[in-house]
Structure 1
Amino acid sequence: MEHIELFFKSIFIDNMVFATFLGMCSYLAVSKKVSTAVGLGAAVIFVMAITVPLNWLLDQYLLQPGALSWLGEEYASYDLSFLSFIMFIATIATMVQLVEIIVEKFSPSLYNSLGIFLPLIAVNCAILGGSLFMQSREIPSLGLAFNYGISSGIGWFLAILAIAAIREKIRYSNVPPALRGLGITFIITGLMAIGFMSFGGMLTGGDEPKAKEETATVDVVKEDAQKELANNNTKVVE
């Protein structure tokens, strides 16, 4: 259940584009054609699916305070958390280079259409954001980290795919001159973000017992207050 909840929450509720607005440069620049958006989105999923678990391992066994205890008791007091950014970015850059080599080898047309934005995945803040969110939310296991990497990548993929499909359609629409290009794209992105916010209530089932408990507590307090008021009125009458 935890895996399923994290999967859907990362895609819809905590979407990298619509909830935190990360990776907007590539989202806006490479979303003019669906084919190009699909290629970049698949590359982002691949990179995040590998880098988030790798960075989880680095964080757990190298960077956290006391993470080096597996080397011996004399290393238990070491704290290398100040190296998190450097290590995470190095992992991401390595994986992006691997993706670039693979795409250039097997799909030269996609490689040419993506252009400079393929190597720029290395500085895509959505990729780094996935690893930093994984660290800040203290994801407890490697499996959940892998789940979070894939689901966050899928969320970014759906966002760029949706805006690319819409931009292909509105290219032939009667858009006011002042809003053509990025203007209408920003407006559509805002509306899509509002739509994705509506998924916020889809995974709130776990809060129902807590809400019922709070309601019961309030009822008890009200009942006690009414009894006390009734006793005071009785004393005044006497």
Structure 2
Amino acid sequence: MGSVAATPEVSRIRRLTDGEFERMFKSGTFMGEESTHLMYKCILDGKQVAVFVVVAEEEELNYFRNKVKTLQNAKHKKIVGPIAYCDGKTPCVVLNLFKEGTLKDFLLRMRATGKDLDIQQKVRCSRDLADALYFLHRDHKGLLSWHRDLRPENIFMDNDGGCQLANFSISSMVVVSWLSFFWEGGGREGLTLEPCFNGRHTSRTPDTRHGTRHDDF
């Protein structure tokens, strides 16, 4: 079974109509499920893709809209990006499929044969993830984002042995607004950060539930 892979940077994410979704879904094979979505392997334009179908309840629809918003603002070659989505009768996000699977899958297969990542692979994956996190943490079109769930299950393997970051289900986003405020003797610009948590209330990290410090401090 394939797994989700990242796409290169794109200028626009394709929006599928209900008819296009139905034609794609006819080829679907069930892959698994999580609390917020069902996963299928389908064919879109002659290519195998992974389709994440959102459970159609209002809370899940809000989760879906937030996730699409996050992904649309996270276009980077080392971040898993959608190639299409549908926000009609059956909300879904469409991603490429990749045979190597997650970093966790890859490590388990290697260790089953008594092997491990060599130093070059470890450095390569570390650099790839650092690039992705740097992109998320810097101001990008007025929006900052923290992933909040960095673990092997949410990291996917490239064709060339690198890594790409996935799964923004409990990410936090920060809307950046520049305000002018004045001191005695002149004016200065100040930065206001307004956090917007994109996850479901059942999928939040302990620090957001209990009000402790986390990676955006």
Instruction: Give the TM bin, normalised by the shorter chain.
Output: under 0.3
| Higher helix content, 1 or 2 | 1
Q: TM-score, normalised by structure 1?
A: 0.25
Q: TM-score, normalised by structure 2?
A: 0.26
Which structure has more RCO (C-alpha within 8 Å, separation ≥ 6)? 1
